[in-house]
Amino acid sequence: MLKMSMAVFVSFFLMSLAHAQAPELPGWKLVWSDEFNYTGHPDPAKWGYEEGYVRHNELQYYTVNRLENARVDGQHLLIELRKETPESFLATSINDEYHRYTAASVNTRNTASWTYGRFEVMAKMPQGKGTWPAIWFLSPLRSPSVPGPPQPRGPDGREVQGPLRGPNAGESSQGEIDLMEAWGSRPNRTAVHIHGTKGRTPSKSAEMEDMYDTFHLYAMEWYPDHMDFFLDQEKILTYTKDPEAGWSFDHPMYLIMNIACGGPDEPAPDDSKLPQFMTVDYVRVYQKGVTSAR
């Protein structure tokens, strides 16, 4: 019994140690990470928030420093999409019936940004109609947030009308990299998108049978002349620099992780399936012999 107890203790200790220390990779230098081995709010030295109804006529209100929507449990970051109706989160527009969801969008806009490197996010995704989780990158010069209430929706929960608002309505000279996007209306499917400056949007989707029950590694290696995208160490897309098609990726970019709901291509969530979570085991950034841009 004593030997078995000692073996269990050693195994647990080694697992805890592995979780607390990000490994080095041959040829790469670890420059930034969050292993989420603490409790409470996401580390404010690393993470900030978006706030409000911000884009794409989505239905959720992004909250700030609210444990119900973003918290660390000692092992993972939990980003939670909730059905709730606090008055301060209600949209002042028609059809408030569809505007009563809260979530979180955490980002490194004011704390860290990088030019080139290997980026790893180990995460488990939410599921259910209307959910829209994403792991993506923007330039600090480009704000993702455009305040304003969502637009009216029809009986099927989809928006009736209303264009996209603000910088995300079109292409930007600063570009956008979507390391992972998933939609509840397309179960067990994830996608990569690269948004450049001239309308070209290279993309690649992949199917997984267990993306809601198992952690998966979403990774990108970003170089001056190309980008490689990986799902569980398998390369699924290479995007090579093509100046004529528009290349907007020679400047620092920051990380965003969020759960949205609704939007132009998604219905309202199935309230019976809420709450839903994006559960993040770790985030790691490696570079080749250089330091973080900030």
pLDDT higher than threshold 70 for residue 216: yes
User: Can you give the chain as a three-state secondary structure string?
Assistant: CHHHHHHHHHHHHHHHHHHHCCCCCCCCEEEEEECCCCEECCCCCCCEECCECCCCCECEEECCCCCCCEEEECCCEEEEEEECCCHHHCCCCCCHHHCCEEECEEECCCCCCECCEEEEEEEECCCCCCEEEEEEEECCCCCCCCCCCCCCECCCCCECCCCCCHHHHCCCCCCEEEEEEECCCCCCEEEEEEECCCCCCCEEEEECCCCCCCCEEEEEEECCCEEEEEECCEEEEEEECCHHHCCCCCCCEEEEEEEEEECCCCCCCCHHHCCEEEEEEEEEEEECCCCCCC
Domain borders along the chain are: 24-287
Average pLDDT over residues 220-245: 93
Average pLDDT over residues 203-232: 95
pLDDT higher than threshold 60 for residue 129: yes
Q: How confident is the model at residue 246 (pLDDT cuts 50, 70, 90)?
A: confident
Q: What pLDDT, on the 0 to 100 scale, is given for residue 279?
A: 99
Q: pLDDT tens across 257-274, in order?
A: 999 998 887 888 999 999
Q: What pLDDT, on the 0 to 100 scale, is given for residue 194?
A: 92
For the annotated catalytic residues, the residue numbers are: 176, 181
Q: How confident is the model at residue 37 (pLDDT cuts 50, 70, 90)?
A: very high
CATH classification (class only), 24-287: mainly beta
Greater model confidence, 91 or 237: 237
pLDDT higher than threshold 90 for residue 242: no
pLDDT higher than threshold 50 for residue 148: no
pLDDT higher than threshold 90 for residue 251: yes
Q: What pLDDT, on the 0 to 100 scale, is given for residue 142?
A: 67
Q: How confident is the model at residue 44 (pLDDT cuts 50, 70, 90)?
A: very high
